[in-house]
Amino acid sequence: MAKQPLARKKPQGVPDHGRTPNKAELRACIEAHDLDGLIALMEESGRVPTVRQAHKLVNQILADEPETVYAWGVAMAGRQEWAARFAASLLFGPYYAEHKKEVQRLLLQLADDENWGVREGAAGGWARVLQDHFDEVYPLYQEWVRHPSENVRRAITLAVMPVVRDAAHGAERAEACLRLLEPLLADRSRYVRKNLGPFAIGVAILNRYPDLTFSMLEHWRDCYDDEQVHWNLAMALSASGGVAHVERALAFLHTLAGDERRTVWRAVASAARALGKKRPQVVVPELKRWLADDARRQAAATALRYLE
C-alpha cells in the first residue's frame, strides 16, 4: 500500500477557510464606511489574501480620508476577530509620524498577539515603520530587540528583511540591520532562532550583501564563544545565501566543525547537508576531506549520511 503523505500542521490561531467575498462586496462596505460589515467579510473568509485585498482597497477608496483609515486601524486593533487585528497591523506604517506613541503601543500589542497570523502581519507593519523612519526608530528597535516577549524579539528579525531588500536604501542600511540583530544571536527562544540565522541572515541579507555578511559572521565567530551564537552562524549558511557562495560557506563551516559542543557541530552538519543537496559536486568531496580530521569527522560523517 502506498504510504500516505503526512498532513501539514496548521499554525496555531489560523482559522478554517470559508466563503471568499468578491471585490465588489469589500468595496461596498468601505464606500459605505461600514467597518463592521468589512470585518465580517474578512472574518468569514478566514484567508490572509482577503485581508490584504481589503487593506489595499481601504487605502485606495479612503485615500482622501487618512484619519478615517487610521481610526479604523485603531478600532480593529482592539477587536476580537483575528482578521480585524491582522488588517490593523497593515495600516499603521504610514501614520507613524503623526501618531508615534500610539503606533508604538499598538505595534507592540499586535506583535505579541496570541494569533500567529496577526503576529505575521504586525512584522510587516514594523518593517514599514523601519523603512520610512529608519534613523528615528532604529534606537527604539534596539530597545525592543531585548524585549521580554519572544514574539516581539522575533518581529525584529522579520522587520529587517524588507529594509535590506529596499533598492533605494538597502545597501546603506544592511550593516546597521545586522548590528540590530546581533543581540538575538544568543537568544535561546526557538521561535526567534529559527527565523534569525537561517532566514533573516541566510536568506535576506547574505544573498544581497555577501562580503558584508561574511565579514560580520567572522567577527561574531571570533567575538562570541556562545554555542547559540555559533549555531546561528552555521545555520545562516544553510539557506540560499550559503548555496550561492558554497565554497566560502564551506570554508567558514570548517572553522566551526571542530567545535566539540553538540549544538554547534550538529548545526554545521545540518548546514553542510543542506548545501550538499544543492551542490553535491562541491560539498561531498570537501566533507570527505574532513573525515581525515579527528576534530571534524563527526560533523562530516553526520552530513554525509544524508548525501550518499
Q: Is the dihedral of CA 208, 211, 214, 217 positive or negative?
A: negative
The pLDDT > 90 percentage for the chain reads 89
Instruction: Quick: pLDDT tens for 240-251.
Output: 999 999 999 999
Model confidence at 13, in pLDDT bands (50, 70, 90)? low
Q: pLDDT per residue over 137-173, tens digit each?
A: 999 999 999 999 999 999 999 999 999 999 899 999 9
How far apart CA 203 and CA 206 sit, in angstroms, is 6
Phi, psi of 275 (to 5 degrees): -65, -40
| Residue 171 to residue 148: CA distance in whole angstroms | 30
Which tens digits make up the pLDDT trace of 14-62? 555 678 899 999 999 999 999 999 999 999 998 999 999 999 999 999 9
Q: What is the pLDDT of residue 276?
A: 97
Q: Can you give the pLDDT at residue 25?
A: 96
DSSP string, 183-215: GGGG---HHHHHHIIIIIIIIIITTT-HHHHHH
Annotated domain spans of the chain: 18-91, 206-308
Pure H helices in the chain: 23-31, 35-45, 48-61, 66-77, 82-91, 100-111, 116-132, 134-144, 150-165, 170-181, 190-195, 210-223, 227-235, 240-244, 246-257, 262-278, 280-290, 297-304
CATH value of 206-308 in 1.10.8, 1.10.357, 1.25.40, 3.30.310: 1.25.40
The pTM (predicted TM-score) of the whole model is 0.89
